[in-house]
Structure 1
Amino acid sequence: MPAAPLFVFDGDCVLCSRTVRFVLRTETAPVVRFCAVQSEAGQRIVGALGLAAMPETFLFVENGKTYGRSEAAFRLAAYLRAPWRWLRFLRFLPRGPTDRAYDCVARNRYRWFGQHTTCLIPVPEQRARFLAE
């Protein structure tokens, strides 16, 4: 696993790909790495964690720990500029309601936002931040 924070996302999901683009535009420093779960690297990471090939959540790996569902989103928010970084404080809310809200969006993400037939292709200056193989 890379030492830098890692965002493992569904490369087929329009919402997930837009989230990656949003993070690239609003992070405080270019430290977050990205990996589509459909890539070879994504499959290795998911396999090493003992998870299903296509988890119903994005994963966020930070300091050797893996987070999913709403906790992953709140931890990712800590790397964004204000006011977006303030969303990280939502992690102090009860996990049940925040995970249920996350699960609702995750279950409906293709229906509400659509699905790509190809994965996100980063611009050349961002390519090194994406794990593919």
Structure 2
Amino acid sequence: MTGEGRTAAAPMLVYDGDCGFCTRTVRLAERLPVRADLIPWQEADLVRLGVSEERAAHEVLWVEPSGRVEGGADAVAEVFRHARRPWPLLGGAMKLPVIRSAAVWGYRRIAANRYRLPGATPACRLPPAERPGARGAPG
């Protein structure tokens, strides 16, 4: 689910729409497909979500309709848990202690270097219309 079909009943994946690597990664989530609304934090009502701009700029967020917020590797695990089979198995495994520790470590390394990774744009600024889940974004 993306774009104007956002509903309060659907979980939401909030990502950095100005980061080319992040945006390309979210496009992969669209292909799983993940049962959630995908929205750049720059377009999200962060106050309503109970999330600070600083946190949203720092890590990907998974926001449940109940208001529960998962960030970083835990948010990625939720993406997999809400995707079509067989991905929920990976999402569940990512919550296990040893695997979760490795996922957190990996997420931190990737997040710290996201502007250097393949898919990052030179300026790492995508026009709003090119962000997955943004109104008017290409599918």
Bin for the TM-score computed over the shorter chain: 0.7 to 0.9
Give ranges in structure 2 of 5+ residues lacking alignment.
1-6
TM-score by length of 2: 0.71
Whether the aligned pair in 2 keeps the contact of 1:8 and 1:34 (CA below 8 Å) is yes
How far apart, CA to CA, are the structure 2 residues paired with 1:122 and 1:111? Answer: 19
SS of the residue corresponding to residue 34 of structure 1 reads strand
Give ranges in structure 1 of 5+ residues lacking alignment.
none
For residues 63-101 of structure 1, what are the alpha-carbon distances to aligned partners after superposition, in whole Å with 9 as ceiling and x for unaligned? 420000111110110122233332212211334332121
Whether the aligned pair in 1 keeps the contact of 2:46 and 2:52 (CA below 8 Å) is no
How many residues align? The count is 123
Whether the aligned pair in 1 keeps the contact of 2:19 and 2:126 (CA below 8 Å) is no
- RMSD of the alignment, in Å? 2.9
SS of the residue corresponding to residue 127 of structure 2 reads coil
The percent of aligned pairs where both chains have the same amino acid is 27
Equivalences for 1:1-133 in 2 at 5 Å?
2-27=8-33, 31-39=35-43, 41-45=44-48, 48-50=50-52, 52=54, 54-62=56-64, 63-88=66-91, 89-94=93-98, 95-113=100-118, 114=120, 115-119=124-128, 121=130
Q: Greater CA deviation, 57-66 or 80-89?
A: 80-89
Amino acid at match of 2:110: V
